[in-house]
């Protein structure tokens, strides 16, 4: 029986966070620290011919100004991925050519922030302005206008030949042939906006050179170990000279699965031998961090009269912006994580991802799946409508079930051939039943105003748990005198609570109270390797390493006590902070520790690694009850229900928190959020006044069920929870709008104007 796993223990950092203790990157500042600021290109496409920093350097307190002449053009990717990264090497620290409005032109280091900002205004730059291309279709057509002229050394993108950053064409069966045999073929086109993760703590890093001539980087990141490797490449120094420290992190959501500022503070710290800090403003977050890729998705689906889906094609055209990190893999996920929901015999998935002179896209919670899920789940409603079949019945008839395989995943790994995925755990059917009950499916409630209309919508979602065969992590467990253990992991708590969950798994396995686990994450000098916090991997992958390490520590102790007590070590029971043998003799963990350390004179400790060749999908069924003001097009979400299968729930409150947070971000995606970029490539709403994320006041009534399963390959049966619940809100809400007013928004966010126009068009047609 689980004693710690499955309980709402106090989140490990709750008290210090509530007390406002100095725990975040920016809460500690090394003495003598300089402030860095980036001068950004006002042009979407321009050669940087000359930078004159004379006037800037004359400003009191300005120490240095660097530009591309001061750096070496080492091609790399900033995507935080396992080596060799499946993203193109198309980026240098300081580019000779600006590729979007906001690209790096020069960097100032000064004694104060004000001096640094003043210096920015005084730097004179000579540009050769080039024609820009911000439309992804035009970018894909043009071969005379190349955003990247240098070929990608590893051939992942077509840099140097065209603006194709990534291309995928994978097919199971034969969709064209199958479509000819179908009773009905439905084709629709869906449009997804650029959105920003809007983590409350911005990108912030500081770096200094210590007394041993080592570079110390303190940074808000999801990927400390990838970062160390990338910095070594970019700075041309040995990895051993770099230490990356990750303090508490105030949200990442994929936007920190990337090197965004760390190279600049590191370069300046090495050059100036002074500590250097760089923090993004919110404006910079919205123009120069990363966006969720905008996409156009054409869905073509062939069905039989009885509702059997025979063929499904998804054609994605995407805009990666100026650089291609995550271009291949995010777009790959758009199909790979989504199309298997309805395992038709014929599936075709095509991606064309363009470089443009727009701001950079990258990883954002869901990693491509929110786009794909929006298209697919809206499309299922459209197919049902054309077929004259109930949309719930159509889903029930076709959705993936226990034991089903997912042939598409075999054709699509993360940049390499993947492994066939078989569903070994799912409660999707029960999620649907319980979700329907909670939302009142089939009995629409009346609108609250005479000019309102009310509707219900649903969406099914699946994701993964880490990247099969790629993601892995290590964990070390060490026993102390008092029976406590130090648990050190490279797994990266970014606010989601992974330290808490990993400590629970460790306590459970050792049979000790949760508060006897002292966890440290992540510091590249002191913790084992881990790929980092992304791809919904931490509980499932890193948790596997923690359980293995704790188990081996337990085996060491059992071996010692077995000899002492002359019994079979396998018969010892570790529970409630004690070890008991079959005849009833018992020792507290503290006494076991004292025995080991002072009599046996050994340090019980273990390090283990864990990788999984599977990526078991968590599932979700999500439901929206909305009202639409028919006079203004404004949408009000009254209630939102999520029923989620994340395997065994390690910490119910944290898992529910993941779901509710994802629903909030999904609500913004559905109704309000869009980074508006004009034809010239300029962001029109680079601040929270005009870029609206959901706040507490915007939240509808939330109902969340965790419908547990036990995943055979997961630690204590756990799967992932972090991303799957962000996939369903947008399609569920848009399907509900359609149910209410009879018109579909093919483009999100479903702003009042868009909903109103769609209603007017319907009236006039």
Q: Does the footprint of ligand SMO cover residue 630 (CB under 6 A)? A: no
Please check whether residue 535 is in contact with residue 472, taking contact to mean a CB–CB distance below 8 angstroms: no
- For β-strands 242-245 and 215-219, DSSP reports them as parallel
- Output the smallest distance, CB 237 to ligand SMO, in A: 27
Q: Which residues of 466-481 are buried (b: 16+ CB within 10 A; e: fewer)?
A: bbbbbbbbbbbbbbbe
Nearer to ligand SMO, 535 or 693 (CB): 535
Nearer to ligand SMO, 363 or 468 (CB): 363
The site map against ligand SMO for 216-235 (x = CB under 6 A) is ------x-------------
Beta strands in 25-172 (DSSP E): 34-40, 46-52, 62-66, 97-98, 104-110, 124-129, 164-172
Nearer to ligand SMO, 256 or 610 (CB): 256
- Output the smallest distance, CB 171 to ligand SMO, in A: 26
Residue 191 falls in which region: left (phi positive, over 0), alpha (psi -120 to 50) or beta: beta
- Output the smallest distance, CB 364 to ligand SMO, in A: 5
Nearer to ligand SMO, 253 or 672 (CB): 253
Please check whether residue 120 is in contact with residue 53, taking contact to mean a CB–CB distance below 8 angstroms: no
Pairwise CA distance, residues 342 & 397, whole Å: 9
- Output the smallest distance, CB 366 to ligand SMO, in A: 6
Nearer to ligand SMO, 349 or 534 (CB): 534
Nearer to ligand SMO, 606 or 724 (CB): 724
Q: What letter would DSSP give residue 143? A: S
Nearer to ligand SMO, 361 or 425 (CB): 361
Nearer to ligand SMO, 197 or 549 (CB): 197
Q: What letter would DSSP give residue 445? A: P
Pairwise CA distance, residues 469 & 364, whole Å: 22
Please check whether residue 703 is in contact with residue 639, taking contact to mean a CB–CB distance below 8 angstroms: yes
- Output the smallest distance, CB 253 to ligand SMO, in A: 7
By beta carbon distance, the residue nearest ligand SMO is 254
CA distances from 115 to 41, 55, 61, 131, 204 (A): 20, 12, 6, 34, 19
**Binding-residue total with ligand SMO (CB under 6 A):** 9
Please check whether residue 90 is in contact with residue 149, taking contact to mean a CB–CB distance below 8 angstroms: no
Residue 549 neighbours by CB under 8 Å, 6+ apart = 475, 476, 477, 487, 506, 606, 607, 608
Pairwise CA distance, residues 622 & 644, whole Å: 8
- Output the smallest distance, CB 363 to ligand SMO, in A: 4
Among 534, 574, 623, 672, binds ligand SMO (CB under 6 A): 534
**Structure tokens of 662?**
């994802």
Nearer to ligand SMO, 366 or 715 (CB): 366
- For β-strands 573-575 and 578-580, DSSP reports them as antiparallel
- Output the smallest distance, CB 669 to ligand SMO, in A: 13
The site map against ligand SMO for 181-220 (x = CB under 6 A) is ----------------------------------------
The site map against ligand SMO for 257-286 (x = CB under 6 A) is x-----------------------------
Pairwise CA distance, residues 291 & 371, whole Å: 13
Residues numbered 327 to 386 that lie near ligand SMO (CB under 6 A) are: 363-365, 367
Nearer to ligand SMO, 9 or 726 (CB): 726
- Output the smallest distance, CB 615 to ligand SMO, in A: 12
In sign, the C-alpha dihedral spanning 419, 422, 425, 430 is: positive
Nearer to ligand SMO, 33 or 535 (CB): 535
- Output the smallest distance, CB 450 to ligand SMO, in A: 43
- Output the smallest distance, CB 281 to ligand SMO, in A: 22
Pairwise CA distance, residues 329 & 337, whole Å: 11
Q: Does the footprint of ligand SMO cover residue 749 (CB under 6 A)? A: no
Residues numbered 232 to 261 that lie near ligand SMO (CB under 6 A) are: 254, 257
CA quadruple 421, 427, 433, 436: dihedral, nearest 10: -70
- Output the smallest distance, CB 589 to ligand SMO, in A: 37
Q: Does the footprint of ligand SMO cover residue 296 (CB under 6 A)? A: no
- Output the smallest distance, CB 367 to ligand SMO, in A: 4
Residue 740, phi then psi, degrees to nearest 5? -75, -50
Nearer to ligand SMO, 467 or 475 (CB): 467
Residues that bind ligand SMO (CB under 6 A): 222, 254, 257, 363-365, 367, 534-535
């Amino acid at each position: 029986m689980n004693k710690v796993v499955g309980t709402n223990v106090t989140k490990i950092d709750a008290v210090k966070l509530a007390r406002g203790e100095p725990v975040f990157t920016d809460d500690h500042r090394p003495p003598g620290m300089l402030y860095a600021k980036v001068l950004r290109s006002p042009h979407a496409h321009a050669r940087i011919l000359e930078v004159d920093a004379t006037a800037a350097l004359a400003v009191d307190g300005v120490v240095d100004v660097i530009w591309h002449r001061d750096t070496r053009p080492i091609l790399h990717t900033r995507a935080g991925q396992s080596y060799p990264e499946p993203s193109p090497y198309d980026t240098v620290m300081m580019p000779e050519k600006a590729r979007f409005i906001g690209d790096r032109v020069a960097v100032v280091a000064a004694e104060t922030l004000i001096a640094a900002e003043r210096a920015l205004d005084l730097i004179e730059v000579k540009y050769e302005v080039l024609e820009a291309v911000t439309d992804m279709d035009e970018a894909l057509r043009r071969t005379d206008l190349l955003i990247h002229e240098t070929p990608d050394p590893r051939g992942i993108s077509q840099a140097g030949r065209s603006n194709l950053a990534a291309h995928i064409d994978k097919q199971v069966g034969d969709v064209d042939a199958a479509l000819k045999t179908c009773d009905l073929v439905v084709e629709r086109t869906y449009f997804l906006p650029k959105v920003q993760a809007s983590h409350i703590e911005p990108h912030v890093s500081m770096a200094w050179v210590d007394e041993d001539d080592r570079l110390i980087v303190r940074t808000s990141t999801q990927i400390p170990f990838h970062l160390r490797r990338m910095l070594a490449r970019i700075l041309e120094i040995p990895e051993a000279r770099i230490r990356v420290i990750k303090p508490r992190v105030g949200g990442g959501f994929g936007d920190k699965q990337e090197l965004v500022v760390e190279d600049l503070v590191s370069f300046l710290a090495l050059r100036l031998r002074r500590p250097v800090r760089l923090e993004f403003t919110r404006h910079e977050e919205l123009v120069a961090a990363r966006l969720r890729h905008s996409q156009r998705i054409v869905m073509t689906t062939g069905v039989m009269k009885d509702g059997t889906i025979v063929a499904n094609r998804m054609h994605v055209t995407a805009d990666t912006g100026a650089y291609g990190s995550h271009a291949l893999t995010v777009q790959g996920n758009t199909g790979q994580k989504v199309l298997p929901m309805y395992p038709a015999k014929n599936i075709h998935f095509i991606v064309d991802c363009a470089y443009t002179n727009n701001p950079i896209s990258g990883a954002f919670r869901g990693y491509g799946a929110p786009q794909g899920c929006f298209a697919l789940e809206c499309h299922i409603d459209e197919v049902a409508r054309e077929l004259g079949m109930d949309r719930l019945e159509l889903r029930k008839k076709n959705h993936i079930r226990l034991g089903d395989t997912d042939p598409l995943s075999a054709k699509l790994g993360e940049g390499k051939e993947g492994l066939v995925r078989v569903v070994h755990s799912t409660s999707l059917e029960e999620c649907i039943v319980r979700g329907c009950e909670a939302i009142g499916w089939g009995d629409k409630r009346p609108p609250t105003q005479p000019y309102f209309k009310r509707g219900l919508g649903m969406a099914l979602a699946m994701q993964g748990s880490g990247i099969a065969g790629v993601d892995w992590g290590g964990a070390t467990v060490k026993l102390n005198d008092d029976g406590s253990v130090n648990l050190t992991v490279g797994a990266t708590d970014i606010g989601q609570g992974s330290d808490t969950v990993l400590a629970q798994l460790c306590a459970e396995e050792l049979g000790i109270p949760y508060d006897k686990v002292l966890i440290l994450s992540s510091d590249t000098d002191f913790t084992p390797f881990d790929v980092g916090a992304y791809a919904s991997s931490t509980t499932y992958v890193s948790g596997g390493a923690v359980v293995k390490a704790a188990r081996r520590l337990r085996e060491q102790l059992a071996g010692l006590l077995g000899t002492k007590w002359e019994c079979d070590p396998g018969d010892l029971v570790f529970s409630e902070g004690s070890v008991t043998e079959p005849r009833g003799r018992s020792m507290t963990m503290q006494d076991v520790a004292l025995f080991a350390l002072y009599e046996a004179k050994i340090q019980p400790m273990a390090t283990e690694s864990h990788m999984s060749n599977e990526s078991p999908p968590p599932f979700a069924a999500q439901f929206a009850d909305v009202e639409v003001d028919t006079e203004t097009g404004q949408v009000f979400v009254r209630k939102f229900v999520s029923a989620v299968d994340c395997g065994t729930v390690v910490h119910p409150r944290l898992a529910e928190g993941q779901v509710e947070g994802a629903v909030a971000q999904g609500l913004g995606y559905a109704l309000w959020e869009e980074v508006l970029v004009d034809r010239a490539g300029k962001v029109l709403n680079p601040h929270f006044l005009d870029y609206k994320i959901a706040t507490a006041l915007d939240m509808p009534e939330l109902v969340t069920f965790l419908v547990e399963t036990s995943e055979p390959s997961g630690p204590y049966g756990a799967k992932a929870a972090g991303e799957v619940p962000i996939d369903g809100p947008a399609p569920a809400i848009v399907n509900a709008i359609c149910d209410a007013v009879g018109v579909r928004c093919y483009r999100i966010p479903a702003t009042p104007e868009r909903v109103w126009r769609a209603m007017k068009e319907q009236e006039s047609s």
